[in-house]
Amino acid sequence: MEKVTGTIVSPKGFHGAGMHCGLKKRKKDLGWLYSDVPCQVAGVFTTNLVQAAPVTYTKALVKKGQAQVIIVNSGNANACTGEQGIQDTATMAQLAGAALAIDPSLVAVASTGVIGQLLPMDTMAQGIAKLAKEGSGRDFQQAILTTDTCEKSVVYQGKIAGRKITVAGCGKGSGMIHPNMATMLGFVTTDAAIEQTLLQELLAELTETTFNQITVDGDTSTNDMVLVLANGQAGNPCIQPNTVEYQAFKEILAAVLTTLAKAIAKDGEGATKLIEVVTRGALDDLQARMISKTIVGSPLVKTALFGKDPNWGRILCAIGYSGAELDVNQLTIRLGEIPVFTQGMPMIFSQEDMACYLENPELVIQVDLGDGTGQGRAWGCDLTYDYVKINALYHT
Amino acid sequence: MEKVTGTIVSPKGFHGAGMHCGLKKRKKDLGWLYSDVPCQVAGVFTTNLVQAAPVTYTKALVKKGQAQVIIVNSGNANACTGEQGIQDTATMAQLAGAALAIDPSLVAVASTGVIGQLLPMDTMAQGIAKLAKEGSGRDFQQAILTTDTCEKSVVYQGKIAGRKITVAGCGKGSGMIHPNMATMLGFVTTDAAIEQTLLQELLAELTETTFNQITVDGDTSTNDMVLVLANGQAGNPCIQPNTVEYQAFKEILAAVLTTLAKAIAKDGEGATKLIEVVTRGALDDLQARMISKTIVGSPLVKTALFGKDPNWGRILCAIGYSGAELDVNQLTIRLGEIPVFTQGMPMIFSQEDMACYLENPELVIQVDLGDGTGQGRAWGCDLTYDYVKINALYHT
């Protein structure tokens, strides 16, 4: 497989557009993504018990297995908006379906932005009426952003049973148009042919090691959603479980999801650094992931790395309260490749080498529990003055 | 019962002292607290799997049921210091016992400060030799602090079976001499007579609703410890379970622990506000406590209140991911006494009244789930630039 340039509409038979309709002051706030033919759809959704109307709506749609359109707005999360919010989501689907002459029951809906305000449906209707049928993938990728500082997208290609297939993804991370919470959206398109149940299984499995392993501030949003659309236009024979083709597709999808997850972590609110934690030698993969995610979520580790301080005591402390089993006397911690703690005792290291390493915009913390074969990664970012500023200075 | 002025040595037969021995630059860093006679001792300790040497040591001592002295240093946590750290803790107990002519097996040890450095035992030995036998309770209360901005102590008195009994407590919170992590220490003395197993039961039960319900940054320290010493000098008949006397003592102890817990939350690193969350109407008390603690631990809620923003969407979001069961349509949220969300829908409120309320240095968030009789409180503080500064600017 290889990474190629392109956008969310690079896979065969996908189209997209994005525009400013008026939910935000100036930036793009409305977009759609659709396929020439109905797609197998898979989705994963927030585990927050308070779920926005589009989450409830699209979850039900994914259960039925097919979708052809995703309509997305930013600037308003349509969350905690009661019965009216659910009606408004259905109306968005109706309007998008009508405009594209596609069955509205195949239209998925996603929203991100401020909580607790009704969508201005006149504005939405006018926007949907004006949205281009042949727009650009980049416009769509921009329309889903809030205070993200950059677009997040990636395209991979590979061969499956002799056919070139393309998988593209885009996402929005932890920025907010109104800073209400870190809403995450991810969309993936592919022209590969694959059964819906298999696609759903694969997405759920890979989400555990990608999107579920990132954290910016520990707040699980009401609007999180990742959708995959597969339209089969690449012409490969439908991918079957436990085959070489399945393995090849899984690798490509994993690469797309991992790239998006890291990009979202790196662009966390106020972040100056991407922090990756790699844990090895745990009892199992789950424990390794728990440790990695606990470290990368610790405010004390995050502030230390913002301050370029190799404060391994805080890393060790986070490992201790992660809930994973461990023997401190078997434990090794490295910052980059520099050992700072080995088998229960602090290590002496070159302050110069360390200071130099901590200047990097991407830092890796390596933990080895020396206890088993479990491994897992997690990604996050540092905690900075700007995080506090972004989230404290705004007034609802 | 009534709150009275006094210190940790106000109960009959207790003595204490504190001094600067040289672990810190200038501030007091060594203290002891002892009783004329052996005490029943109860203790609760950090659940972090990485535990400092004094935690392991004192845990074993509490299991045996009696103690007469607590020797405490600040400025060095004696954590992650291997075999030498354990020996150093035992030496501290030996030296303190010898200096006070008290059996060293009755000496509890607590440490707080930087992780991963051996204690300078020459300095410690010289300090212990110089420590006053008849010092002041306030000196002890100061010697256990790190970057706390104030002493935290409280004294209550009440009558048990016609005898006046006194319960005093002091604590240190989320400051750090070296900003390694929020180490919490709490010490309680009483002249009441009570059996050890009953005292231990009571402390464990009350810790759940007091110290375990505060959070500053979600990082559970390697050194947390709360000890209660009861020397029986008040002359009351030994308190028995399920009696009026037991209930009276429990109320006084609860008042002492709650006061200390709130004081620690209020003096969290960089804090400008104490935040109290009161949840009612949950299925049970445990779920109510979970909700309260999740809200008060949310970085987005903490930054909003620092910014004086009534951002109830973030409160609702935290309730949703707290792990507790809920029906949004039954849910009410109040800031102070002002309803902001009622039965699934946002409320319109006076911006002026709200702005005025959010100026208070102590804020109360009230949640009612309308679902049962469970209730629970939690305490925390806002997340400010100074939290980031304190934890990022220091270099190990």
| pLDDT value for B179 | 31
Per-residue pLDDT at B271 exceeds 50: yes
pLDDT in tens, B207-225: 888 877 777 666 666 777 8
When scoring A303, A351, A385 by the number of chain B Cβ atoms within 10 A, the one with the most, hence best to mutate, is: A303
Mean pLDDT value across residues B359-378: 95
pLDDT in tens, B143-181: 998 778 889 899 999 999 999 999 999 988 764 323 333
Q: Locate the chain A residue with the closest alpha carbon to B216.
A: A299
Per-residue pLDDT at A193 exceeds 60: yes
When scoring A46, A47, A49, A298 by the number of chain B Cβ atoms within 10 A, the one with the most, hence best to mutate, is: A49
The rounded distance, in Å, linking the Cα atoms of B69 and A9 is 72
For every residue of A115-168, DSSP letters joined together read SS----HHHHHHHHHHS-SS--HHHHHHHT-SS-SS-EEEEEEEEETTEEEEEE
Q: Measured between CA atoms, how close is B14 to chain A, in angstroms?
A: 34
* Cβ neighbours of A90 (radius 10 Å): 15
Q: Is B76 annotated as contributing to ligand binding?
A: no
- Nearest Cβ partner for B310 among A217, A317, A396: A396
Q: Which of B85-94, B102-111, B256-265 has the lowest mean pLDDT?
A: B256-265
Q: Locate the chain B residue with the closest alpha carbon to A326.
A: B49
pLDDT in tens, A310-336: 989 889 988 988 889 888 889 999 999
- pLDDT confidence bin for A209, thresholds 50/70/90: confident
Mean pLDDT value across residues B305-333: 90
* pLDDT top residue among A263 and B40: B40
Q: Which of A115-129, A200-214, B282-296 has the lowest mean pLDDT?
A: A200-214
- Nearest Cβ partner for B222 among A222, A312, A320: A320
The segment with the largest mean pLDDT, out of A103-107, A291-295, A386-390, is: A103-107
Q: Measured between CA atoms, how close is A189 to chain B, in angstroms?
A: 29
The rounded distance, in Å, linking the Cα atoms of B7 and A248 is 70
The segment with the largest mean pLDDT, out of A382-391, B75-84, B228-237, is: B228-237
Residue numbers in A near B307 (CB within 8 A): 391-395
Q: Measured between CA atoms, how close is A50 to chain B, in angstroms?
A: 5
Helices (H), chain A: 53-64, 82-100, 121-130, 137-143, 196-209, 244-266, 285-297, 299-306, 312-321, 351-357, 385-392
Q: Is B172 annotated as contributing to ligand binding?
A: yes
* pLDDT top residue among A340 and A226: A340
CA-angle at B183, arms to B182 and B189, nearest 5°: 140
- pLDDT confidence bin for A74, thresholds 50/70/90: very high
Q: Measured between CA atoms, how close is A76 to chain B, in angstroms?
A: 12
| pLDDT value for B367 | 97
Q: Is A197 annotated as contributing to ligand binding?
A: no
Both tokens of B46, joined, read: 């950090």
Mean pLDDT value across residues A270-291: 94
Q: Locate the chain A residue with the closest alpha carbon to B303.
A: A392
Check if A81 is active-site: no
| pLDDT value for A207 | 86
Mean pLDDT value across residues A336-363: 94
When scoring B46, B47, B49, B393 by the number of chain A Cβ atoms within 10 A, the one with the most, hence best to mutate, is: B49
Going by C-alpha positions, the residue among B12, B16, B94, B92 that lies closest to residue B53 is B92
- Nearest Cβ partner for A180 among B220, B313, B321: B313
Q: Is A281 left (phi over 0), alpha (psi -120 to 50) or beta?
A: left
- Nearest Cβ partner for A320 among B48, B297, B389: B48
The segment with the largest mean pLDDT, out of A170-174, A211-215, B364-368, is: B364-368
pLDDT in tens, A289-316: 999 999 998 888 999 999 999 989 889 9
Q: Is A2 annotated as contributing to ligand binding?
A: no
Residue numbers in B near A320 (CB within 8 A): 48-51, 220, 222
Residue numbers in A near B297 (CB within 8 A): 218
The segment with the largest mean pLDDT, out of A42-56, A170-184, B191-205, B381-395, is: B191-205
Half-sphere exposure of A260 (CA within 13 A, CB side): 32
The rounded distance, in Å, linking the Cα atoms of B387 and A282 is 32
Mean pLDDT value across residues B90-117: 94
CA-angle at A246, arms to A245 and A248, nearest 5°: 65
| pLDDT value for A135 | 95
Asked if B82 and A391 come within 8 Å (Cβ–Cβ), the reply is: no
- Nearest Cβ partner for A317 among B219, B303, B314: B219
| pLDDT value for A395 | 55
| pLDDT value for A104 | 97
Ordered structural domains, chain B, with CATH: 2-264 (3.60.70.12), 274-392 (3.10.20.340)
Average per-residue pLDDT in chain A?
A: 90
